Structure formats: C-alpha cells, structure tokens
Amino acid sequence: MSNVVDFDEALKVVRGQAGSLHKLETDGAPLLECLNRVLAEPVVADRDQPPFERSTRDGFAVRAEDASGPRRLIGQIRAGERWTSAPLQRGQAIEIMTGAPMPQGADAVVMVEHVELRDGSILLLQGRMVRTGENIVRRGSEARAGDVVLAEGTVIGGAEIALAAACGRSGLSVFRRPRVAIVATGDELVELDETPDEQQIRNSNSYGLAALVAKAGGDAVRLPIARDRSDDLEKLILEARSCDLLLLSGGVSMGKYDLVEEVLHEMEAEFFFTGVKMQPGKPVVFGTLPASGGFPAQFFFGLPGNPVSTQVTFHCFVEPLLRAMGGAEVSPPRFAQATLGEDVAGKPGLTRVLPARLTCDWARPEVRVVVWQGSGDLAANARANCYAVLPPDVERFRAGDVITVLLR
Ligand SMILES: Nc1nc2c(c(=O)[nH]1)N[C@H]1C(S)=C(S)[C@@H](COP(=O)(O)OP(=O)(O)OC[C@H]3O[C@@H](n4cnc5c(N)ncnc54)[C@H](O)[C@@H]3O)O[C@H]1N2
Ligand code: MOO
C-alpha cells in the first residue's frame, strides 16, 4: 500500500525509529583510531583542569591591590616550573610566562606590553590598571577532577581527541561501526573494471554510498549489482541480512522493471513510507525486514537510482538513522541557514532539495543553486557543496530570503 509522506513527516519517522534502537557492541581502540567513531563510555577528567592556577599571558605576576608605583622584580617562572620561594609580598613582581603556575601571594598578571622596566622594577604604563584575577585561569575552572567531560554517544572529532588526551586517555571504548550492505540494482549497470557499451552506466551509486556510509561512521559492504529480476534481487537482499542496515539503489519508481518494493513486500517487509513529497528523491522507501533465518529484523532504505536523488536521500534520512545505529545521540540532518543569492522557483506539493553552493564571508552566508540537468547530474552535484531546502507551495523564493541549507 502506498504511503507517500511530507518531507517533515519523513524526517520525523526516521527520528522516531532512530530513538528506539538497541546499542551495538563496544570495542576498545587506540585514541587516534577513534576519529569519527562514537564514544561508548563517559570520559572523566583525571585531575582538575587547569591543574594549577595558570597565567594566560607573558608578563608579571603581581598583587592587584598594590598602588601604581614600581614593583620590584624578584624572579621568574617559566611554563613547567613552580615557584617554591616565599610568597609574593607587597610591592613585588615575578616575571611569568604563558601557561606557568601562579606564585603564592600574586592575584593578577600584567602583560609585558603594559609595563616599563626600570632599575630591576616594573612600572605600569600610563593609564594601565590591574584588576584581581586578570590574565589568570583558576584551578579546576574548566573541569574538576571526576567531572564527565565527554558523554557516551559523542561523535569523536579533533576537539574530543584533544580533550581525551588531556585526560590521559590513550585509548577509548567506542561502539562497533554498523555494517551497511549496499546493493545497486539495474540491468544497465556495469562495474568499474568493465568497459561500458554506450547504453550502459557505471555503478557510481555503490561507490558514492560507500563513501557517505564511511563518513557517517558505518562500515560499507558493497555487494554485487542486482539485476532487474526478482530472484536476483531476493538473493542479494538475503546476502545482506548479516549487516545492520541495507541500502538499495534504483528500482523503486514506476517502471516495469522497478521491482525493489515488490520483492521487499514478498519478503514481508514493513514499510514506514513508500515515498516522500520532495524533489529530487520522491520514490525513496524506508522500512524493516522481519527477523528470519537467525538474523534479527533489519532496517532498509530503497533509495532512488538517480545519483543525485540517491545522495540527497542519504543525507536526509539514512545519515541520521545510521549515526544513531552507531550509538550517537539522535540528531536531525545537518541543517543551517543562509541567505538566498538569487531567485529560485518552488514546486507545488514538493520540498525541493537542490544542489547548491554556500559561500561565506564570516558575517553573511549566501547560497546559490547550481545549474543542473536534473537528478542524474553528478557533475552538478560535485560542483555543489550543500543543498538548498525549499519548502513546498511557494511559487518563487526571492534573492535575500533566508532559507534552510542541508550541509554535507
Ligand atoms: N513515470 C514515472 N517515472 C519516474 C518517476 C515517476 O514518479 N513516474 N520518478 C522519477 C524519479 S523522481 C526518479 S528519482 C527515478 C528513480 O527511479 P528508480 O529508483 O527506479 O531508478 P532507476 O529507474 O533504476 O534509475 C534511474 C536512473 O538512475 C541511474 N542509476 C540507477 N542506478 C545507478 C547506479 N548504481 N549508479 C549510477 N546510476 C544509476 C539509471 O541508469 C537511471 O538513469 O525515476 C523517475 N521516473
Ligand atoms: O527523485 Mo527524482 O530525483 O526527482 O528524479
């Protein structure tokens, strides 16, 4: 039974399914191999951060309450050193480097540019003042020993690796990557090691999807091309059952040889939707295959075969589900906002998700759709760096309108 839903509804359906997943097994991995993986344990600060009261400037540790007269220099503290002599007294100053621990008795740092050195003393330059706490970060103000600094479910990037390293973690517990089977369907398709006849098409979707799967934290398993025959499709769908998620491309539209939905039906699939009111991407289907042959129930997407539609529907629906399957917090596709740089026509009844180029001087991100020949135009898709998301039933979007963009 056909169930074609609005774009918003489709996002909601995926979100709902993503919220009800079981966690995958965990795995220990060396820190640098955790990049783009999902944390399966909280990371805890092993000591206060910073571990001592730290100077944030090269300058002089002083007492703020001292008057503006000369302060006598009594020593120096470099980063990595500690002041072990008597606490700083009134009228004294200690030369200090960025990152060095504050000496006892001092409560501020004056930057080296703001003083004049004269006869072994420093003098504040005209008009300069010192306030208590200036240029100092208090011990434990960033994190206290025992605080959770990274929660389970965090996707690990450069910032997270640096923080884990600061906590002394040379390895982390991460979730196993979901295994994602990719089955491209179509009699016209040939693999990359074959020379296509004029009427044949290289199986680019399989590679594009494998790349997107890897980027979204999955392990791609590229299966052979399924020909447009029910038995061949069924055989490859069964071969994919050992994976956590199945992605099919092509064969989901209205053509005589578009058999994907029919075969999935025969295999007792449940469909959450059988199309989305969007362009490109309208024929996309999402559902589950029931547990069978010792394999648990399995999510699948039938993605439209047109290569731009394949990629757009991946970003909108597959990526959020895949991230959640991998243990990450459920989150929507990566939407942002930008100002439209030119007029664009809308489509009655359909949300448009058009290949577009986002340029950004820091104050005003601007987006322009890319000239394309429709949803088979891979070259246009590669000239784009995002998608312009244009809601249905607006006849014309105007230059200057603030619109949603889908980042990729
Ligand atoms: N009468 C109608 N025709 C079509 C409709 C419709 O509603 N009524 N929808 C159109 C839309 S929208 C799309 S998108 C396509 C999707 O069709 P399928 O998912 O069934 O895909 P195919 O027909 O198999 O292929 C479409 C197109 O993409 C090329 N392709 C397919 N697989 C790959 C691959 N692995 N690598 C590279 N290119 C691939 C294929 O050669 C076709 O050119 O249907 C419209 N038709
Ligand atoms: O999903 Mo189709 O992309 O409009 O050709």
Q: Residue whose CA is closest, atom 32 of ligand 1?
A: 305
Tell me the domain boundaries of the chain: 4-24+177-325, 43-48+142-175, 54-137, 335-407
CATH number of 4-24+177-325: 3.40.980.10
Full-model pTM: 0.94
The reported pLDDT for the residue numbered 255 is 85
Q: Is the CB of 275 under 6 A from ligand 1?
A: no
> 205, 284, 303, 306: which to mutate for ligand 2, most atoms within 8 A of CB?
306
Task: Give the CATH fold of the 54-137 domain.
Answer: Molybdopterin biosynthesis moeA protein; domain 3 (2.170.190)
Distance from the alpha carbon of residue 255 to the mean position of ligand 1, in angstroms:
9
Ranges assigned E (strand) in 280-343: 285-289, 298-303, 335-340
For residue 223, the ligand closest to its alpha carbon is 1
DSSP 408: -
- CA dist 370 and 352 (Å) reads 13
Distance from the alpha carbon of residue 250 to the mean position of ligand 1, in angstroms:
6
pLDDT in tens, the chain (408 residues): 799 999 999 999 999 999 999 999 999 999 999 999 999 999 999 999 999 999 999 999 999 999 779 999 999 999 999 999 999 999 999 999 999 999 999 999 999 999 999 999 999 999 999 999 999 999 999 999 999 999 999 999 999 999 999 999 999 999 999 999 999 999 999 999 999 999 999 999 999 999 999 999 999 999 999 999 999 999 999 999 999 999 999 999 888 888 999 999 999 999 999 999 999 999 999 999 999 999 999 999 999 999 999 999 999 999 999 999 999 999 999 999 999 999 999 999 999 999 999 998 778 899 999 999 999 999 999 999 999 999 998 999 999 999 999 999
Distance from the alpha carbon of residue 309 to the mean position of ligand 2, in angstroms:
5
The reported pLDDT for the residue numbered 340 is 97
Q: Say if 4-24+177-325 and 335-407 have the same CATH topology.
A: no
Q: Is the CB of 381 under 6 A from ligand 2?
A: no
CATH number of 335-407: 2.40.340.10
Nearest to 392 by CA among 254, 240, 279: 279
**204 CA closest ligand 1 atom index:** 36
The reported pLDDT for the residue numbered 1 is 76
The reported pLDDT for the residue numbered 254 is 86
The reported pLDDT for the residue numbered 67 is 79
